Structure 1
Amino acid sequence: MEIGFISLGAMGRGMAASLQNAGHDLVVNDLRKESAADCLGRGGSWAETPHELASRVELILTSLPTSQDVEAVVRGDDGVAELAEEDIPACAVTTRRAAYNVRLGGPMAKQQPTGFVLVHGGRHGGWAWRDVASRLRDLGYPTYRPTLTGLGERAHLLRSEIGLETHINDLVGVFEYEDLSDVVLVAHSYGGMPVAGAMQQVFDRVRTVVWVDAHLPREGESVFDLIGDERAAQMKAMAAEGGEGWYVPTSDASWWGLSDPDQIAWVNSKTTPQPIKTYLDKIGPTGRAWSHPGTTIECNPSRLPAVEVARQRARAESDPHFHRRVIAACHEPMLTHPDELTELLVEAIENR
């Protein structure tokens, strides 16, 4: 078999040498031809571009330093994906983080990349997913981070009649107007409520669902049902004292487990009040959310009630299509651990 190998840095040279020692013929490419001297001296042949390399081999391997390098080699000018008509398996691997690896199977460019829809938690907005979204886009995944009505940059729409159904319709609208399909739908915290409701309508467009320390309700449950009487009473008191009786005012970001003063100040500048109706409304059918392939990412420590943590753990133990992962982070891992969370989200693509 003739193998193409791109990027002959310190790690790449060793991998290429091992392949040649095993008897494989190599065609190589690197930004600097002198980096390929050892490989060429052992009988390898040179390709001027990744595209030329792809046209000559049966398998493509890379050892690249960054996700940007992966993107350039795969989809850039003279990239390997230009050979869309060929059926050439490829593995574009970085030497940094596993999440930045791209597995490609031919036809390469004809495959529409899986997309992500990232749904924020209560009193947050799409802004909370900024760092994770940028990482996913760098990896070539179309990524959407909608803000639910009345929150974040849509705070000017805040009104008492906004309820859970409003937020469910927000998500359904994203799928309809962006023509989305085969996406990874990601819910954080309160975001699990509208995601669970929207799944009844968009399940056939969703590849898998990821619940990041998120509510996963049964039919007829509300947020206040899930969090328990004591916490529900606290939030109702907050609404009565500081929210004119119909909205829950913001909390200091330290409540969600953040400890860095600059990060707390930034989050405090972004959070917005949320209508209490969204917490009181009982959700309709959620069967699709409970039967669809998915992953629960449990924060340690978690802000979910113990009964919900136990319920999701039990599902992971009994449902072979539902996986459990743990991240050593507070309730806001998209803010404190964006690299680790991105890696888990990319991993979830295969959880079907």
Structure 2
Amino acid sequence: MAKFVLVAGAWLGSWAWDEVVPELRAAGHGTHPLTLSGLADKQGVPAGQQTHVQDIVDEVEHHDLRDVILVGHSYSGIPVGQAAERIGDRLARVVFVDSNVPADGESFVSSWPDGRAMVEAAIAENGGFWPPLTADDYDGQGLTGEQIARIVGGSTPHPGATLTEPAVLARPLGELPATYIKCLLDGDKVGDDVAALLTSEHWRLVEMDTGHWPMFSRPRELARILLDAAAA
């Protein structure tokens, strides 16, 4: 039986996995949807990027989890990728859901050459937080109006330091057993950094014909892919 630790992207909390968790549990696996510090029900907790890495490591160690499938969506691929290294032989596989991936010494905004100034300005103008997206920003991502309203209604400002602090990796990410899920409505090709990682014999690519938030738009399909990853 695998233990899934599920970490959603910017602005979201553990609630984002509410429609995925029952599918995984029905298949007999343990589930640990996680809210990172400073978000959702943990608003007000100071957080930098390494805080988020430690949140994930602490979840695994506190519950003494083994055969762990770490799942990181969007921004959370960065702390999840670092945590995957740090939990050692507890890790079975890491799954990146249309996510950023960490690079040693680089931050989340490092991979946004055209948007870095915009993100940093938004953080500066909003008390150190990245403000959530508006409903219009979710157009074209395979979401219903009800799903968009749910995401927008549950989103909270994201701690800015987690986006600007650098990742710390002890060894090449390509050495980890990994699945990368590319959501095609959010662009039909992976970035150059992910493409390079996919040349590793330890990595595999899965595509979903949906947008950047598949836990809302295609929760059952996403759950099936996660179950396949656990069996890999």
Tell me whether the two structures share a fold, i.e. TM-score over 0.5.
Answer: yes
Decide which structure has the larger Cα Rg and report it: 1
Which letter does structure 1 place at the counterpart of 2:72? A
| 1:60-113 CA distance string (max 9 Å, x none) | xxxxxxxxxxxxxxxxxxxxxxxxxxxxxxxxxxxxxxxxxxxxxxxxxxxxx1
Alignment TM-score, normalising by the size of structure 2: 0.92
**Structure 2 counterpart of 1:260, one-letter code:** T
Between Structure 1 and Structure 2, how many residues are aligned?
230
Amino acid aligned to 1:164: Q
Instruction: Provide the residue aligned with 1:221 in structure 2.
Output: 106
Specify the alignment match of 1:341 in structure 2: 222
**Quick one: which amino acid aligns to residue 185 of structure 1?**
L
Residues 314 and 284 of structure 1, relative CA distance in 2, 3 Å threshold: closer
Partner of 1:123: 11
Query: How far, CA to CA, are the matches of 2:143 and 2:29 in structure 1?
Result: 31
Question: What is the aligned partner in structure 1 of residue 60 from structure 2?
Answer: 175
1:182-201 alignment runs, 5 A limit: 182-201=67-86
CA RMSD of aligned residues (A): 1.8
Inter-CA distance 204–232: structure 2 relative to 1 (3 Å threshold): same
2:7 and 2:76 in contact (8 A); partners too:
yes
State the Cα distance separating 1:288 from its structure 2 match.
Answer: 5.7
Partner Cα distance (2:121, 2:228) in 1: 41
Deviation, 1:175, is: 0.8
**Contact residue 98 and residue 181 of structure 2 kept, 8 A:** yes
Q: 2:197 aligns with which of 304, 315, 334?
A: 315
**TM-score with structure 1 setting the length:** 0.62
1:1-352 correspondence to structure 2 within 5 Å: 113-157=1-45, 159=46, 162-228=47-113, 230-241=114-125, 243-244=126-127, 246-256=128-138, 257=141, 259-285=143-169, 287=171, 289-302=173-186, 309-316=191-198, 318-351=199-232
Larger relative contact order, structure 1 or 2 (CA cutoff 8 Å, min sep 6)? 2
Partners of 1:129 and 1:233 in 2: CA distance = 31
**Are residues 213 and 154 of structure 1, via their aligned partners in 2, closer, same or farther at CA, if it must alter by over 3 Å?**
same
- Distance, in Å, in 1 between the alignment partners of 2:66 and 2:174 is 19
Identity score, percent: 32
Runs of at least 5 residues in structure 1 that lack an aligned partner in the other structure? 1-112
